Amino acid sequence: MTHRRLLCALSTLRWGPRMLAELLLVNERTVRRWIAGTAVCPEAIVVWLEDLARYHEARPPPEAE
């Protein structure tokens, strides 16, 4: 996943680097490196994030009454 695709998925999910780091139990610095493109995001995480982003786009939250 290019860092742009990672940013797009995180934006769609409305997650920041801290949230992703906490979910994956990795250092936030690692996530920031993925976002900056100075480190490669593992393929399993790539697939997971893209799936979540697609699901989120296809099924937005219901409107509050």
- Domain coordinates of the chain in residue numbers? 3-58
Instruction: Give, in order, the Cα–Cα distances in Å from 60 to each of 13, 19, 47, 52, 65.
Output: 10, 20, 20, 12, 15
Once rounded to an integer, what is the mean pLDDT over residues 6-35?
Answer: 95
At 41 the pLDDT is 92
50 CB-near residues (< 8 Å, 6+ apart): 1, 5, 9
Q: What is the pTM of this model?
A: 0.83
Tell me the pLDDT of the chain averaged across its residues: 92
Which tens digit of pLDDT belongs to each residue from 36-64? 999 999 989 988 999 999 999 999 888 98
